[in-house]
Chains A and B, each alone.
Chain A
Amino acid sequence: MKKLMCARAEELLVRDLDAGLTDTERALLETHLTGCAACAELRQEISGLIAALKTDSPADPGEEYWHRYDLSLEAGLREKEINPGVWVLRWKLAAAALCVVLVVLAAREFTGRPDRDAQTLPARALALVEDLREIYGPVEEDRYLSMDIGNDAAFPGDFRIAFLNDGFTNWFEVEDESDNLLL
């Protein structure tokens, strides 16, 4: 029981250094200390330790030191104040340049930009078709192009295919004339 009380007293002694004891705890501790020489000595030891630690706190380096400190900190802060300004200016310039680039790109997109592929692909495709014709003869599409589009016999059924756009098959239209035929 005594041992347990001493362990508890030791904890209370440390807390007592911080004035962290309740009235009840303080009373308990004082009662214990009056009857326990070891814990009373422990209190002195701890107090001595804390006092010694306090004396070992670093000494004030002196006014000259603080003067130098203030000067260099002030200079550092001034530099920090200037530098953000430079960075802000740089960011503004970068943002402006980016805006110009975006505007140019958008303008090219919407005002018919010269698309290299768009111009060269049909020419290359036509050249390829020509090559294929030479190798394999007329392709199916050529056959339809050579047909008489006014001749119904060429297109059995109810459909007439009208080739538009100067005969080249970019697109075609299908007219359903079945109703007319019935009439």
Chain B
Amino acid sequence: MNDADLVRDFRNGNREAFAELVRRYSRPVTMTILGIVRDNEAAKDISQHVFLKAFEKLSGFMFASSFKTWLYRIAINSARDHLRRRKRDFTVELNEHEPEPGPSASERLEQLRMRSLLRAAMEELPEKQRLTLQLRIYDEMDYKEIAGVLGGTEGSARVNFFQAVKTLRKKIGGIDEKTYVRKSRGAAGS
């Protein structure tokens, strides 16, 4: 059963249909929010707020976009509101994601440094470019979906992604595809 059918079922009084929508989207939506706010508990609260809001507003959903797009739009806006309210401290917590096992200690240190740089550079991107990059890379959305969630056209989403990659590359320089550490040649701003 697709999302639209579940939405219709829910509107006809089938509560289980909404439970199925929650099962489908609660984790990906929470992970998207987590990618933006970088705080597990805040992500949980925001994500729950998103689903409660969806539960409340679904009766007025007009099918102008897909349910997924509509839900992600609520999620992104809620996460942005949260960031605006909190004026997040951009101190990067590096211990939340262990580096890939295998490389030497110095390489791992360099990976952490790289990650820190990358996040700092991402935080400096214009909001729309940053969100486009996150939705494209972390959530693997296509540009049409991104345009639906963030507003604008498919073309503008593509341009935002392109600009974001260009800016990051300028700021960080080359990154080795296998070790994720910065290449010594062409490194910028070290």
Q: How far is the CA of A73 from the CA of B47 in the complex (A)?
A: 9
- Of the residues A45, A50, A58, A80, contact of B31 by C-beta under 8 Å: A58
Place the interface of chain A in its size category. 35 or more
Q: How far is the CA of A14 from the CA of B15 in the complex (A)?
A: 44
Tally of A-B residue pairs with Cβ under 8 A? 110
For chain B, the count of residues having a C-beta within 8 Å of the partner chain is 50
Does more than half of chain B's interface fall in helix, strand or loop, or is it mixed? helix
Q: Looking at the assembled complex, report how far the CB atom of B186 sits from the nearest CB atom of chain A, in whole angstroms.
A: 7
Q: How far is the CA of A17 from the CA of B169 in the complex (A)?
A: 15
A59 proximity list for chain B (CB < 8 A)? 96-98
A85 at the interface (CB under 8 A from B): no
B169 proximity list for chain A (CB < 8 A)? 42, 45-46, 49
B148 at the interface (CB under 8 A from A): no
Q: How far is the CA of A24 from the CA of B56 in the complex (A)?
A: 49
A148 at the interface (CB under 8 A from B): no
A45 and B183 form a contact (CB under 8 A): yes
B115 and A55 form a contact (CB under 8 A): yes
**Interfacial residues, chain A to chain B (CB-CB below 8 A):** 10-11, 14-15, 17-18, 20, 41-42, 44-61, 65-66, 68-70, 72-73, 76-77, 80-81
